[in-house]
Amino acid sequence: MTIPNILSIIRIILSPVFIIFFLKDDPFSRRISLLIFFIAVLTDWYDGWHARKYKSITNFGIFIDPLADKVLTSFAFYLFYLLGFMPLWMLVIIVLRDIVVTFIRSYDEYKGLIMKTSFIAKTKTFIQMTYLFAILSLLVLITYPIGDSNIQAINDFIFKSQINYYLLVLVTLLTLYTGIDYLLKKQYIPKNEIN
């Protein structure tokens, strides 16, 4: 098994570990959870870089890398739903889109066709990860003694502000769009580009 594939599997394993640590009722565990999430995001960047640099692109890697991204983001968005600031309909759209795309990719792979990840889908993943890391960082920041007014301001932004709500709407609609784009514009990787 290649290093990028191992890193993708590690990312899947870290996803539930991150949410378990976050949901523990103590500040230190929340800080550890952010570190776990950050390590998981780093594996996503590194496995892609390694696969391209050393030309270790495999059928399994093409499948497992985006699946690992979907697992990590789904766990994080599920956490946001549990915390009460992400509506259920957004969570359902994001997770359902990922299940459908994964099913289609798996079926195509069964037929010997490897679906290419589009630029817009990669952009969607980058935006999702950036948003998730930013909000998680704020949620961890309030575990430090930064002053009651600052803690209240962060809580208001995350849980009550229209800005954060519309950021979530944007992420959800972009995720939905990329799912529709997959269905309408399937692009496949030529077999000579796969090891």
CA-CA distance, 135 to 165, in Å (whole number)? 12
Nearest to 20 by CA among 104, 82, 67: 82
SS3 130: helix
CA-CA distance, 74 to 29, in Å (whole number)? 20
- Would the pTM of this model clear 0.85, i.e. be above it? yes
Structure tokens at 157: 């932004």
Maximum CA extent, the chain: 59
- Using CA atoms, how far residue 158 sits from 126, 132, 137, in Å, is 20, 12, 11
CB 78 within 8 A of CB 71: no
Please give the angle made by the CA atoms of 182, 121 and 141, to the nearest 5 degrees: 140
Q: Which domains does the chain possess? A: 3-193 (1.20.120)
| Number of other CB atoms surrounding residue 93 within 10 Å | 17
What is the pLDDT tens value at each position of the chain, 195 positions in all?
A: 788 889 999 999 999 999 999 999 899 999 999 999 999 999 988 887 877 777 777 777 777 888 898 999 999 999 999 999 999 999 999 999 999 988 887 788 777 777 777 788 889 989 999 999 999 999 999 999 999 999 999 999 999 999 999 999 999 999 999 999 888 876 666 555 555
Structure tokens at 72: 């990590």
Phi-psi map region of 117: left, alpha, beta (phi>0 left; psi -120 to 50 alpha)? beta
